[in-house]
Homo-oligomer: A and B are copies of this chain.
Amino acid sequence: MTRIAIDAMGGDHAPHEIVAGAVWAAYEYNVPIELVGKQEDIERELDKIKSEGFLSDCGHRGTKKRINIDVSKLDIKITHADEVIEMGEHPGQAIRKKKKSSIVLSVKAVADGSSDALVAAGSTGAAMAASLFGLGRIHGITRPAIAATLPSLKKPIVVIDGGANSECTPEMLYQFAIMGSLYSKQLLGIKEPRVGVLNIGSEETKGNTLAQETYKLLEANKDKFNFVGNIEGNKLLLDTCDVVVSDGFVGNVTLKVTEGVASLLFRLIKEQFASSIFGCAVGLMAKAFLKKIYPRINYEEYGGSLLLGVKGITVISHGRSKAYAIKNAVRVAKEAVETGLNKKITELIGG
């Protein structure tokens, strides 16, 4: 049975929210968990949850509800880790120096086979470095990439690379296209994912050298995925593609700008409603409707991004992740394992 290792010490709300998310996932998805981190901290959190449950807003901003789960019936084991890698540390140096850190031991749990996948909400750099170092690349993969999701008019789209590689070659983007397409198919249930190149114009000759060369390479290999050409930023979220490839710099800017625009707009809307008494009244009524959009655009629903191309499954969650996001990250990890995502990547990359 698939077991998921979780770095219990990573992220802004560790260990409380991480442990709560782990308990929740173990209960809801009936999945065995391996919590990696300071034993006494984890035990204390588990005891607390045992006696009083935990609070969560279930992915909606607003009233929290108390969730009570009988922890004693769950399959949760603890692996002690002495150290924690902090956000400011240099990833490469930190994983070499802190061999007993929770992230390094979470990866080791997967490498050694005690778990099948891991979830990490701490330093993204450290999670990537530890995974690459501890699990190794899938044969044939030049560089692993982060596959993140963005909301769109219909189904979520996959953005790959979401930030693992600031400088890329067309060959790398070709591999991202294969991996992203498989992710979309296996985990998001899209039959023939439309794969596009993020570019500044729709014509083949538009954009920088990387985009132009990638276009040619994907066009030449369109028997391997459903290539739909260049996608411009203004059409990205309007159901024009299911997977978009770019280097990790552009991908990361895209993900973050999306987050920034959404928060700007919601702040401007709030400001408008707050500008008069009538506005406050209308705002109060409108809130129920606006809140329904939230799950569509909330990163917590997707739980995290997948690091694809390593021999193992690593789900990288947002540093701000709370229990609900961690629970969903475990679901993503479990699905990635059970659908055999890596096996399919290996087959297609021709390892």
Contacts and interface: CB of A to CB of B under 8 A. Distances in A.
A282 B286 contact: yes
A293 interface: yes
Interface residues of A, number: 54
A208 interface: yes
A47 interface: no
A217 interface: no
Interface string A230-258: 00111111100000000111101111111
Interface stretch (A25-33, A105-113, A132-140, A262-270): A262-270
A286 to B, nearest CB: 4
Contacts of A286: 273, 282-283, 285-286
A59 interface: no
A247 B233 CA distance: 15
Contacts of A248: 200
A153 B267 contact: yes
A17 B1 CA distance: 66
Given A253-B198, A261-B262, A282-B282, A268 B296 contact: yes
Top-7 shortest CB links A-B: A233-B256, A233-B257, A166-B208, A261-B261, A234-B256, A200-B252, A234-B260
